[in-house]
Amino acid sequence: MDRKLFFQVRRQPPELIIPAKPTPTVPKPLSDLDDREGLRYKLSGVQIYGQNSCMKNPVKVIREALAKTLVFYYPFAGRLREGPDRKLTVDCTGEGVVFVAAEADVRAEEFPLYPPFPCMDQLLYDHDHLHGSQGILNSPLMFVQVTRLSCGGFILAIKFTHNMCDAFGMSQFLTAMGVIARGRTSPSVLPIWKRELLNVRNPPKATCTHHEFTQLATKSTTDPNPDSEMVYRSFFFNSTNISVLRNLVPQHLTKCSTFDLLAACIWRNRTIALALHPEQKVRLVFAVNARSRLKSSIPVGYYGNAFVLPGVISTVKDLCKNPIGYALELVMNAKANVTEEYLRSFIDITVMKGRAPISTEWTYIVDDLTQLGLWDTNYGWGKPIYGGMAYSEVDPTPGTGNFFLRIRKKDGDEDEIVAPMCLPAGAMERFEKELQKLLVYGNYIKILSAL
């Protein structure tokens, strides 16, 4: 697909969609896991639907479903206020979320089905041009644009304030909207607020090691051209590629997940590609969904942020000179250490540091969204041909990190995992070569073991 796809969108004026029925007005404080400085931005998702012979007007259906869904998720129709110590609270004013109807002379099949998507500024209304929407305070918490396509399909793009929920919370909201769009009067899973479940302890105490907050000193780079132009590439992994990489895994680590394996491989290859000083310390940070790890049980329907960001640290020399098992074991041990106590310690140290974000120097951040439910949202026209994040990067700073996403292939082919990358041009070339070397070596090991 041509990543330079260009088209013009004809938008109707933005409107505020309010809940379809009166909703409570009691203020709702965010949790201390929500209320982090590093989440004070808006996260975007995209769903692309192809032509359907039963197609009604998706703008009308989704607009009405949005209003009805906001009855249950009414905090999204409010506004964030900042209190003492910059504590965030939702003022449940019922003012509404921004909705835009649009049309575009482009077909669904012209879009590449992985991020970053071309012309996202056309597919999602630029909220910074809306009066009063700068930042996250005192402004709408959600923006939705439905763009009808020339083929008869449509695109739903959404942007929401990350402090309100994580990607899985967004998926829960859209699933609820899909159920209501298809005729139900309430979501299949009712939303639960209960943000107090993830608040700081009294007194707060950091009881675990948190490499994600460690400051890393800077060594001189060995990259001959560290400031070269940043470029994007997407790397695809099917079951065959992953099987080949598993041939490189030592026996005691064979129970590693696909995410563990890819995170370790990409972190190592990325570090090699950046040609850093051998004694430079580098870090991998990855998101872990804590919902299934809490003994105290986050209730089904909880849609707040419920993830932590464990980090692992290595010198460049150790990471690059050792086999892949070295990085893989670091990742697996860090994930295994995410217990309820770790979560509580993470919340406490975050608050103790004044809600400061994690340290990002010499850091690669990755988030596994291969199980995100945006692929299955049905508003009445079946499942989307793409459902996932709008952009390829976890952090707004180019090159800091990326999502792992699931890509649905056509014609019954197996799904693939895509890892979009952003690196300086020279480093990108080296990264591709290192990845190819790993795949070739893994295949060689596979052949030897079969003899």
* Helical segments of 186-234, H only: none
- Cβ atoms 212, 51 nearer than 8 A: no
Q: How far apart are CA 53 and CA 151, in angstroms?
A: 11
Cα 334 to Cα 118: distance, rounded to the nearest angstrom: 36
Q: Do the beta carbons of residue 274 and residue 291 sit within 8 Å?
A: no
Which residue in the list 52, 138, 378, 443 is annotated as catalytic?
378
The phi and psi torsions of 191 (rounded to 5 degrees) equal -70, 145
Apex 255 CA angle, 254 and 257, nearest 5: 110
293 and 198 Cβ atoms separated by less than 8 Å: no
In terms of Cα–Cα distance, which of 18, 60, 52 is closest to 146?
60
Indicate the pairing of strand 28-29 with strand 15-17: unpaired
Catalytic annotation on 378? yes
Grouping H, G, I as helix, E, B as strand and the rest as coil, residue 67 is helix
Q: How far apart are CA 154 and CA 134, in angstroms?
A: 28
Using alpha carbons, select from 265, 218, 215 the residue that is nearest to residue 404.
265
Q: Which residues contact 60 (CB under 8 A, 6 or more apart)?
A: none
Q: Which two tokens stand for residue 30?
A: 């965010």
- Residue with the two structure tokens 């004070």: 40
Residue with structure tokens 């690059």? Answer: 320
Judged on CB neighbours under 10 Å (0-12, 13-18, 19+), 152 is middle
The catalytic residue among 162, 210, 211, 402 is 162
Interacting residues of 160 by C-beta distance below 8 A, sequence separation 6+:
42, 43, 76, 141, 142, 143, 170
Active site residue 443: no
Question: Do 222 and 276 form a contact (C-beta atoms < 8 A)?
Answer: yes
Q: Are 75 and 24 in contact (CB under 8 A)?
A: no
Helix, strand, coil fractions of the chain, as percent rounded to 5: 35, 20, 45
Active site residues: 162, 378
